[in-house]
Amino acid sequence: MIKLAPSILASDFNILGEQIRQIENAKAEYLHIDVMDGSFVPSISFGMPLIASIRKNSKLIFDVHLMVEEPIRYIKDFKEAGADIITVHTEACTHLHRTISLIKENGLKAGVALNPSTPLNSLEYIIRDLDMVLIMTVNPGFGGQSLIPATLSKIKDMKEMAIRTEASIDIEVDGGIMISNVDQVLQAGANVIVSGTSVFNGDITQNIVEFKKKFQQYNS
């Protein structure tokens, strides 16, 4: 099943609660929450207090993407704040296996994200421990970027690796995904779609409906 993960990085924080309700009512599955520390990536964004606040009023699956150095320091805090899935960057972890193990020990699903230039072989010996791999289709740190075309072949290669290693994982994509190009990443093998501006700009409900229409032909 193809799942949609609207990214609140593109939301209007004056009406965030209302926008999250619209996302829920339109049947999106996940809420994608980018956490940035100003070190691993240039920007600074949300932390535990925001997640804890919106957790009180939402039943969506919270897909927390940690773009931070040494994320192992924060796993328990984000679990307590309300995360359901925690994804960390292999580039930011000194001990990736230990970090993934801690996420799972806390009862959460574990994902690993790869920047556009990071090779897939960095996952070779850990892929069967994962629930999800996040392929960044832009360089992380800012919203509103255009998808890097070369990442489409990386998604295909990730799908092939998952089949070859018999890894039961979701393949998530994040960066520049719009209704007009989502077919490309779906055809490549992605099954969790992160989108910010294409969900939050304009009519949120209608935008989600349009994404879901695109998904239908792949939900076989």
Annotated binding site: 7, 32, 34, 65, 141-144, 174-176, 196-197
Q: Residues comprising the binding site for a divalent metal cation?
A: 32, 34, 65, 174
Q: What whole-number distance in Å separates Cα of residue 60 and Cα of residue 201?
A: 20
The DSSP string of 76-108 is HHHHHHT-SEEEEEGGG-SSHHHHHHHHHHTT-
User: Rounded to whole angstroms, how far apart are CA atoms 136 and 4?
Assistant: 15
Enumerate residues 6+ apart whose C-beta is below 8 A from 6: 23, 28, 30, 31, 32, 194, 195, 196, 199, 200, 204, 208
Sheet holding 192-195, edge to edge: 3-6, 192-195, 170-174, 132-136, 109-114, 85-89, 61-67, 30-36
* Annotated catalytic residue 174: yes
Catalytic annotation present for 34: yes
Which residue in this structure is represented by tokens 């959460």? 108
> Residues at the annotated binding site for substrate?
7, 65, 141-144, 174-176, 196-197
Q: Which of 63, 131, 170, 174 is catalytic?
A: 174
From 12, 34, 77, 170, the catalytic residue: 34
How far is Cα 23 from Cα 62, in angstroms, rounded to an integer?
Answer: 13
State the DSSP string of 58-79: --SEEEEEEESSSGGGGHHHHH
Angle of the 16-25 helix axis to the 48-55 helix axis, nearest 10: 50
Residues with catalytic annotation? 34, 174
